[in-house]
Structure 1
């Protein structure tokens, strides 16, 4: 089979297309004929070995695939690597049937980005109707879905941030009430201005650096900042706990694999609700581009440029 392999750590240049043997499913696993593989920021960190979980060489990146099982089911699956390939092994417990009326792009948008947005709003931020929600990187994979979920679940005001007018217009088209330039000189002041001069209730942040610092300073009493990534690759300042007392604020982190440690089937609940919202027309996926498997390097370059919108996928037939 054709696959993309990393044999040395680094940037997009280390992604190389190779021929590899088909993977052999172990006991309790299922083989998926992959039609499309999702591309995530986590993949870029994995390729340079800066991800939360250490990488081991050689590796085939990719933690999400859509395709068909041997019995013909159309599925999307969250896997432990190996997604940038024409075949991958999956755990049935993390594999979900794609409903009729839902395409592969949408399914791949939901399996990581959609569930991330769902977890952040439901479990980290505990969104209540009428609250203000800031979505940083609102034109990205998580951001585009988070904006739509926040509106669908009754947020009083959704404030999107993005780096270009085109991206801000996209966020508005998805339901954002206000759109702020992510390069604002003072993000604290910009967020408060977008919220009618008031502090904000919730911030979803995957940027890092000063954006995190200044967003924390914009929180209202009992406001919550949910941190789930560091696309800028810049560390925010350490959180000083007594500072949180000043406005009774909360800072939380979220790494999606921990969703599987929760009692019950919370991840499955998230996927089911997302599919229902998609079929009802309340949430839609935004394509950030379809690249051939041979173009994985270009996909990573595009993602790391922070110039993309929505969900990037690899088409394994190309």
Structure 2
């Protein structure tokens, strides 16, 4: 079968389509014929072996797929790796039936980016109605869903950052009250100005480096910053415990992989997200549908911040 397989770690240039043996489902697993595979920013880290969990070669990237099982079920599944292929294997416990009204791209967006946004707001930051929420990369996969969910769940003010005017306008269309440039220089002041001159209650942060530092500095007393990525590939400054105590501030981390210990922490939120999507209250943005042979271009576009929403791969092309 056709699959993307890398033989060395590196940038997008190492992503090559190869002919490889089809996977075989074992006990408790499902073989899935892949209709679309999801692309995540984490994949760019995995390909260069800079992710939280170290990879081994040869490697077929891709953490989630949507497709059909031999008995005709249409499922979206978390596979860990191996998704950039015509067929993939998933544990049955993390393969979820997709409502007919939900598109392939939306299903892929909701199973990773959607459940991440759900946990960032509910599990990690414990957002309460009326609180202000800053969403970094508000036009991205997680950000575009977090903006909508925060508004649906009663946030008092949703502030989004984005790298271009076009993306900032898109976050406003999704429900953000205001959108600002996410460039680190002067970011703290822009955040506070966007919140009517007040620090913010919640920050959802996935850039790292100076963006993390500026965002933490803009936190209100009892504020919570949840980090779930490091897209800048830069380290933030060390946080002295005293800076947490003064203002009673919280820094939390979130990694969706930790939810796999209890699949109910994915299935429950996903069912709610499917329901919101079917009812028209939530929209998953699919920002690019790439041929499998164009996988390197997809990674280049994502790393260059040329994309919005969820990116998917078509293994038939």
**TM category, shorter:** over 0.9
Aligned counterparts of 1:179 and 1:52: Cα–Cα separation in 2: 30
Correspondence 1:10-29 to 2 at 5 A: 10-29=10-29
Alignment partner, residue 235 of structure 1: 235
Aligned-partner SS, 2:222:
strand
Aligned-partner SS, 1:143:
helix
Aligned-partner SS, 2:53:
coil
Task: State the 1:261 CA deviation.
Answer: 3.2
2:294 is aligned with 1:295? yes
2:63 is aligned with 1:92? no
Aligned counterparts of 1:81 and 1:183: Cα–Cα separation in 2: 32
Alignment partner, residue 269 of structure 1: 268
Aligned counterparts of 1:118 and 1:170: Cα–Cα separation in 2: 20
Could you give the per-residue CA deviations for residues 42-99 of structure 1, whole angstroms, max 9, x where no partner exists? 1111110000000000010000000000111111000121000000001110000001
Task: State the aligned residue count.
Answer: 317
Alignment partner, residue 283 of structure 1: 282
Alignment partner, residue 307 of structure 1: 306
Aligned counterparts of 2:135 and 2:269: Cα–Cα separation in 1: 19
Could you give the per-residue CA deviations for residues 143-187 of structure 1, whole angstroms, max 9, x where no partner exists? 000000000110000000001000000000000001011126311
In the alignment, is the contact (CA less than 8 A) between 1:184 and 1:190 conserved in 2? no
Aligned-partner SS, 1:234:
coil
Aligned-partner SS, 1:65:
strand
Alignment partner, residue 120 of structure 1: 120
Task: State the 1:27 CA deviation.
Answer: 1.2
Aligned counterparts of 1:260 and 1:155: Cα–Cα separation in 2: 28
Aligned-residue RMSD, C-alpha: 0.9
Alignment partner, residue 82 of structure 1: 82
In the alignment, is the contact (CA less than 8 A) between 2:184 and 2:211 conserved in 1? no
Alignment partner, residue 133 of structure 1: 133
Alignment partner, residue 7 of structure 1: 7
Aligned-partner SS, 1:229:
coil
Structure 1 residue runs without a partner (length 5+):
none
Could you give the per-residue CA deviations for residues 198-254 of structure 1, whole angstroms, max 9, x where no partner exists? 110000000011111010011111000000000011111111111111111000001
Q: Which stretch shows the higher mean deviation, 121-130 or 177-186? A: 177-186
Alignment TM-score, normalising by the size of structure 2:
0.99
Aligned counterparts of 1:130 and 1:155: Cα–Cα separation in 2: 5
Alignment partner, residue 168 of structure 1: 168
Aligned counterparts of 2:93 and 2:125: Cα–Cα separation in 1: 26
Aligned-partner SS, 1:129:
coil
Alignment partner, residue 188 of structure 1: 188
Alignment partner, residue 198 of structure 1: 198
